[in-house]
A and B are shown apart, each in its own frame.
Chain A
Amino acid sequence: MLEYWLGVATLTGIYMIAVLGMSVLTGFTGLFSVGHAGFMAIGAYTSALLTKTYGIPNIFGVISAMAAALIVGLLIGYPTLKLKGDYFVIATLGIGQATKLIIENLPGITGGARGLTGIPPGSSFLTVLIIVVVVIWILRNFLRSKQGRNCVAVREDELAAASIGTKVASYKLLAMGISCALCGLSGALLAHFMQYLSPSMFSIVKSDELVMTVILGGTGSLTGSIVASLILIPLPEVLRFGAVQEWRMVFYGLLVVLVIIFRPSGLMGNREFSIAGLRRFFENMRLRMKHGRAK
């Protein structure tokens, strides 16, 4: 039983890495993607095939997975991010679907729709936990850096950002690169955790779930994405009965629409959760209790 829940926790950590990647792209830079499960697939299959066929150590498999996802991401991002309009979204749809279809139709290499087995194990709970912590630490510092702030500027107002000299397309590409590399990392870890891959694990529904998790957590809040991942990713494991899966998706969809209409900044808004913030919150509460409603 403990082992089962440890597995769920590991899986949550693995998907959280992908959600954090999407958080940089959708939450902080304001770009929308419906194909990031495709980048997870690229990462997963790259690492799985390299380690399985050539016996490369897992760590190098994971690094090549990140590189592969990054390269493909930059390739489709470079021409489309410069354009005004929905072209980038369309490109992510194309790449997400094409990746899945190509994997399905290359049974000689990828095992086709039946899946790929015999992937070397790795990704223990501890490994994933360490990687998640490192990723969060790096992203936190990135978002506080000049580059990170420029990404937020691009989300808030492209024209204004460009007028003060921010290279809008470059920062969009940067966010795209980070999200793709993280999705590749997440996919590779998934491959070594499951030791089995099939193209159906990377469907468009998975891409949609990544976006929706970010939105529900709050656009522009890293802690929001973390909290949303911790709640939403283990949910399908807890609710394993009947038609509950469909109802879960109905609920997600409804929640996303309601959040966008009534509270577009999401659960956490653009606030970050921190100990100091919590102390401030309680201090305010205490003062408010003391002096009544008036501030």
Chain B
Amino acid sequence: MFFQQVINGLSVGGIYALMAVGYSLIYSLLNFTNFAHSITVTIGAFATFYFLTELFENIYAGILFAIVVAGILAILIQILGYSVLLKKNAQRIYLLITGLGISTMCDNLVIISFTSRFRVYPVNFSTKAINVFGATFGTIDLIILAVSAVALILVQLFIKKSRAGLAIRGASFSLETASIMGINTQKLIMIVFLIAGALAGLAGALLGAKYTAYPALGTNMANKAFISSVVGGLGSITGAVIGALILGIGEVLISGYLSSAMRDIFSYTLLVIILFVKPSGLMGVDIGDRA
């Protein structure tokens, strides 16, 4: 029973991690929280749903479609919303408000165009559970766990091994210095938004498979991912993943052993406590006053 809960928690945590990494990447480079992140998650779920019902009934193709659509959407948000402000070097509060405006606008457009109904994917995940050491696991949880692990490892490899990844790591210390050193920071910002959007789209597709697709999906889940990235330390990618796994397992255990109503209280209280005790999070870096 316990082992089973932990696996379930890891699969929830894996999805949170996909979204949390997006928050962290953007924060590490641009020092602001992308409040428009949640909409890419919702769109990922709906893209998969419509791909499966209208085009192909292949879940893997559907997930790929969601990744592409959400990635493009994230780039559009950056070009139409943030880029003007970033070029003007606007105060951070303006970026936050823009994100809030974009997410309010898009969330309501989604409700208008798709209605608030809950949509179930037409693909039938083999409901038979898999038996390992006497514990039973849902197939969907194992798929989610595997897919998110692969995606997170790929992103980590990209950041650690590729030239663009090196540039991102460099620019996260100081975007200005990086640009003086001849790094094309505009391109870097695009890459970061693309990765964040693609991961969010993947998360949305998986969330839709686990919980069905509905307009508030993105906001509900992205807030959890946001908490994860704070618990792990804003701007740290490893921290975001660790925070997401802690939150995922904690939530599943709480709803399993106490009650599901306590689950959200646990998450938000954890957030407030972390901010009191160790605001820099588990892996946080430098939050002191900096000019």
Contacts from A to B (Cβ < 8 Å): 26, 30-32, 34, 76, 79-80, 83-87, 89-91, 93-95, 97-98, 101-102, 104-105, 159, 204-205, 208, 211-212, 215, 243, 246-247, 249-250, 252-257, 260-261, 264
Residues of chain B with a CB closer than 8 A to A79's CB? 275-276, 279
Q: Are A212 and B100 in contact (CB under 8 A)?
A: yes
- The count of chain B contact residues (Cβ–Cβ below 8 Å) is 50
Q: Are A257 and B98 in contact (CB under 8 A)?
A: yes
In the complex, the number of residue pairs spanning A and B with C-beta atoms less than 8 Å apart equals 135
Minimal beta-carbon separation of A200 from chain B (angstroms): 13
- Known A-B contacts A84-B289, A247-B112, A261-B98; the reply to A208 vs B85 at CB < 8 A is no
Cα–Cα distance between A212 and B108 once the two chains are bound (Å)? 15
Minimal beta-carbon separation of A127 from chain B (angstroms): 33
Q: Closest residue of chain B to A112, judged by CB?
A: B261
Contacts from B to A (Cβ < 8 Å): 27, 31-33, 35, 81, 84-85, 90-94, 96-98, 100-109, 111-112, 219, 223, 226-227, 230, 234, 261-262, 264-265, 268-269, 271-272, 275-276, 279, 287-291
From B93, B103, B106, B227, contact of A31 by CB (8 A): B93
Q: Are B279 and A215 in contact (CB under 8 A)?
A: no
Interface of B is mostly: helix
Q: Are A85 and B31 in contact (CB under 8 A)?
A: yes
- Known A-B contacts A83-B279, A261-B98; the reply to A249 vs B288 at CB < 8 A is no
Q: Are B104 and A249 in contact (CB under 8 A)?
A: yes
Cα–Cα distance between A252 and B108 once the two chains are bound (Å)? 10
Q: Are A260 and B97 in contact (CB under 8 A)?
A: yes
Q: Are A98 and B234 in contact (CB under 8 A)?
A: no
From A26, A90, A249, contact of B230 by CB (8 A): A90
Cα–Cα distance between A145 and B227 once the two chains are bound (Å)? 38
- Known A-B contacts A86-B96, A105-B261; the reply to A253 vs B101 at CB < 8 A is yes
Residues of chain B with a CB closer than 8 A to A85's CB? 31, 234, 287
Minimal beta-carbon separation of B196 from chain A (angstroms): 16
- Known A-B contacts A30-B93, A261-B84; the reply to A90 vs B287 at CB < 8 A is no
